[in-house]
Structure 1
């Protein structure tokens, strides 16, 4: 059985390849293979010998790139779990809706990469092309998810397109607010718009029958409609 960390590692390697990253054939000299993992991350200047220091590893460009990607991934995935994944909980009978939600999850790590400023990073020569492709694909998926939610009258507690356009720090803060219950009574404006449209459609059905019943001959005054 493939564990989630293994899947993330495999996806990350695939993404790095798409970005044009040239992976090293040897371990960085900063990492001593004779030491344990803990010892490699322990600050030699710490008298307690229990503080993990990334200073020397952050100087390795590839390590820093992977570290930044995973930090962004934490925020992006948190937003996805808080506002998108849960939409599918009670709607398994709609295959297309479920497929779009699970399909979007496959792109979460890629979306995290697009949150980074890698346009001028020598490690990632293909970043601009990668970013454009991922954002376009995921935007289409999210718009389809929103359309399904609208038709099924499923409330949205956030603008789902924020997953595409917001920075990862904002997404992380938003996801944390949701986990703390701060958004319990907040609904996305799309739901209110749906209520308004439903009310207007009902009026359009009932009003002609009322006018006909009362034998009222009514003509729309276009100029009055434009009057402030």
Structure 2
């Protein structure tokens, strides 16, 4: 929970000074200043501040980014609608869990991604978007999805279907495998940042998202490192990979969609990634390296044998 956002919202809602807020909470004004700088806040104190700020179950940072509680409720309604719409179009054979928003973090994650891309959030919720989504006709729905902010959000969510499908098919079990112990490494960030990775796979107007290239470069760089950690741990544990995991970084959303769908249909059950064959080759070479000296000594040719390296080159 963002303590800074909570304090700001409480001060704004109550229209009071830091000193007055400190008195209400029975803490020192200095403590209020520390919270505004991001110091950890206990859960009971979070609950008290949420009550004073009147934000309910909404994420404080999301409310702050939205401009007001009223705006945040409208954005949440739109985000939920677009998530459901995108989820209905998923074809990977896997549930896109982030779009089901079981953790209640979808609104915050969406706004964080947009802000990192450089997309400006309007101070007031756009009037043209404040409609009854369930009553939209086809033409109205098309117009809604073509609007700047809904368009980006919907395309990110549609991309997330594909990205999450590939993740669920090939990576999820590795991240949570007790033998690999990868969850507590940087590789454990793979699932939490999938929305950002999905955003990297859509086309955007850089006049709307001016930081997109920088955002995309950083996100893909992070994923290359995280996937490398998972692959190394899987290799050391001798766990087969059924696909090249780096595809989640380099492949398009459509390509990931196809990979996940094939896996969900059982088309890839007999396939092993080339890394597994390479592992078998390396294991065999190590075994030969261990037993060959003993064989040469048994044949009494160990001391006189000389390797002709020129014959090793093609």
Q: Do these two structures clear the TM 0.5 threshold for a shared fold by scoring above it?
A: yes
User: More displaced, 108-117 or 20-29?
Assistant: 20-29
CA contact (8 A) 2:179 2:237 kept: no
TM norm structure 2? 0.64
Counterpart among 147, 161, 168 of residue 232 in structure 2: 147
Give CA-to-partner distance per residue, 1:70-94, whole Å, 9 cap, x none: 10011001100100002245x3154
Give CA-to-partner distance per residue, 1:153-178, whole Å, 9 cap, x none: 01001100000000011101100100
Give secondary structure in 2 for the equivalent of 1:99.
Answer: coil
TM norm structure 1? 0.86
Distance in 2 between the 1:193 and 1:126 partners?
40
What corresponds to 1:24 in structure 2?
A: 122
Give CA-to-partner distance per residue, 1:10-43, whole Å, 9 cap, x none: 101111111111112334343454xx3311x223
CA contact (8 A) 1:30 1:56 kept: no
Give secondary structure in 2 for the equivalent of 1:181.
Answer: coil
What corresponds to 1:8 in structure 2?
A: 106
Give secondary structure in 2 for the equivalent of 1:98.
Answer: coil
Give CA-to-partner distance per residue, 1:184-214, whole Å, 9 cap, x none: 0001100110000000011011011110011
Distance in 1 between the 2:110 and 2:129 partners?
21
2:160 pairs with 1:73: yes
What corresponds to 2:248 in structure 1?
A: 163
Give secondary structure in 1 for the equivalent of 2:184.
Answer: helix
How many corresponding residue pairs?
213
Q: Segments of 4+ in structure 1 off by > 4 A?
A: none
Distance 1:88 1:134, change over 3 A: closer
CA contact (8 A) 2:180 2:237 kept: no
Offset at residue 98 of structure 1 (A)? 2.5
Distance in 2 between the 1:86 and 1:154 partners?
11
Give CA-to-partner distance per residue, 1:58-78, whole Å, 9 cap, x none: 331111111111100110011
Distance in 1 between the 2:229 and 2:138 partners?
49
Q: CA RMSD in A?
A: 2.0
What corresponds to 1:108 in structure 2?
A: 194
Counterpart among 133, 136, 147 of residue 37 in structure 1: 133
What corresponds to 2:18 in structure 1?
A: none
Offset at residue 116 of structure 1 (A)? 1.4
Instruction: Show structure 1 runs of 5+ residues with no match.
Output: 45-52
Distance in 2 between the 1:84 and 1:31 partners?
37
Distance in 2 between the 1:110 and 1:88 partners?
18
Give CA-to-partner distance per residue, 1:87-125, whole Å, 9 cap, x none: 245x31543x2234532101100000111123x431101
* Higher normalized helix content (fraction of residues): 2
Distance in 1 between the 2:245 and 2:142 partners?
36
Counterpart among 260, 264, 269 of residue 184 in structure 1: 269
2:144 pairs with 1:57: yes
